[in-house]
């Protein structure tokens, strides 16, 4: 939404001198089958229907209005564009590098994006469509997050860099049991935990080595529950006991 000034008063040269405007975007990761059938990290994207970057995929987002907090704006923009309503959402980073403006229209008003992120369970990944405007379905879709797994190599604005930063955070700063808790729910098997590692790292791991390395992992606790199913020896369920914040 352009500000009153950029809409009405300013020409191109004046717009570039305006105070930066603010947008709120969201990076949502979920575990879904990848192109080889293995669980992979996916994210919802929205196709731009106007310039700049018309036709390209972008992160769900929009403006911050006067009457809402940053997190409320993130949730509202996400719900309006995708229909998603994650239980838990957190601030990732504020992006406002100068290159952002240069990759936009020439002389466009600078935009600073405050980005929120969330990890959601597969049962939370239904996108809006039926309830949306006509034609909205084909403009909102899940994509693999990593270009190495079939994700889009380019996105509108600097959104590719923002997603890469979110992937880096996921890979470097967060406990895998915590990621599993967010992506899978309260309880999960060690095989599911390994699949989360593989999805985040983007490569397969040896199951025996993986189980050995899990010894002493903080905040991972065996429960007295077992996964129900048709197997003669149902696997034990584990629980994440650490902090929820990403």
Contacting positions for a second copy (CB under 8 A) = 3-5, 16-22, 63-64, 66-70, 91, 93-94, 96-98, 110, 112, 114
Supply the minimum distance, in Å, between the C-beta of residue 108 and a second copy.
11
Q: Rounded distance, CA 28 to CA 154, Å? A: 17
Q: Bin 100: left if φ > 0, else alpha if -120 < ψ < 50, else beta.
A: alpha
Q: Smallest gap, in angstroms, from Cβ of residue 206 to a second copy?
A: 25
Tell me how far, at minimum, the Cβ of 149 lies from a second copy, in Å: 26
Report cis status (omega within 30 of 0) of the bond before 52: yes
Asked if 237 and 223 count as a contact pair (C-beta separation under 8 A), the reply is yes
CB of 64 to a second copy, least distance (A): 6
Task: Return the beta strands (E) in the chain as ranges.
Answer: 21-33, 39-47, 57-58, 61-63, 90-95, 111-120, 140-144, 187-188, 220-226, 236-240
Residues 30 and 221: their CA atoms lie apart, in Å, by 23
Question: For residues 16 and 58, which CB has a smaller minimum distance to a second copy in the complex?
Answer: 16
Q: Which CB, 27 or 64, lies closer to a second copy?
A: 64
SS3 176: helix
Nearer to a second copy, 107 or 150 (CB): 107
Between 159 and 194, name the residue whose CB sits nearer to a second copy.
159
CB of 76 to a second copy, least distance (A): 14
Q: At what angle do helices 190-201 and 207-214 cross, to 10 degrees?
A: 100
For residue 193, the minimal CB distance to a second copy (Å) is 22
Q: CA-to-CA distance for 36 and 125, rounded, in angstroms?
A: 20
Nearer to a second copy among residue 14 and residue 206 (C-beta): 14
Between 70 and 128, name the residue whose CB sits nearer to a second copy.
70
DSSP state, residue 187: E
């Amino acid at each position: 939404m352009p500000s009153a000034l950029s809409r009405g008063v300013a020409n191109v040269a004046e717009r570039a001198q305006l105070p930066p405007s603010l947008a709120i975007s969201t990076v949502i990761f979920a575990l879904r089958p990848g192109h080889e059938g293995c669980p992979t990290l996916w994210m919802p994207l929205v196709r731009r229907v106007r310039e700049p970057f018309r036709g390209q995929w972008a992160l769900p987002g929009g403006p911050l209005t006067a009457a809402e907090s940053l997190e409320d704006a993130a949730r509202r923009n996400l719900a309006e564009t995708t229909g998603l309503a994650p239980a838990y959402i957190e601030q990732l980073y504020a992006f406002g590098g100068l290159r952002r403006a240069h990759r936009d229209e020439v002389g466009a008003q600078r935009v600073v994006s405050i980005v929120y992120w969330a990890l959601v369970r597969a049962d939370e990944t239904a996108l809006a469509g039926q309830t949306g405007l006509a034609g909205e379905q084909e403009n909102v879709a899940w994509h693999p997050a990593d270009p190495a797994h079939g994700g889009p190599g380019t996105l509108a604005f600097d959104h590719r860099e923002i997603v890469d930063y979110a992937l880096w955070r996921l890979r470097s700063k967060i406990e895998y049991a915590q990621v599993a808790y967010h992506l899978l729910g309260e309880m999960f098997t060690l095989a599911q935990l390994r699949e989360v590692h593989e999805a985040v790292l983007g490569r397969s791991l040896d199951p025996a080595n993986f189980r050995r390395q899990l010894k002493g992992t903080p905040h991972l606790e065996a429960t007295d529950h077992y996964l129900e199913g048709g197997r003669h020896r149902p696997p034990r369920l584990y629980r994440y006991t650490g902090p929820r914040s990403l």
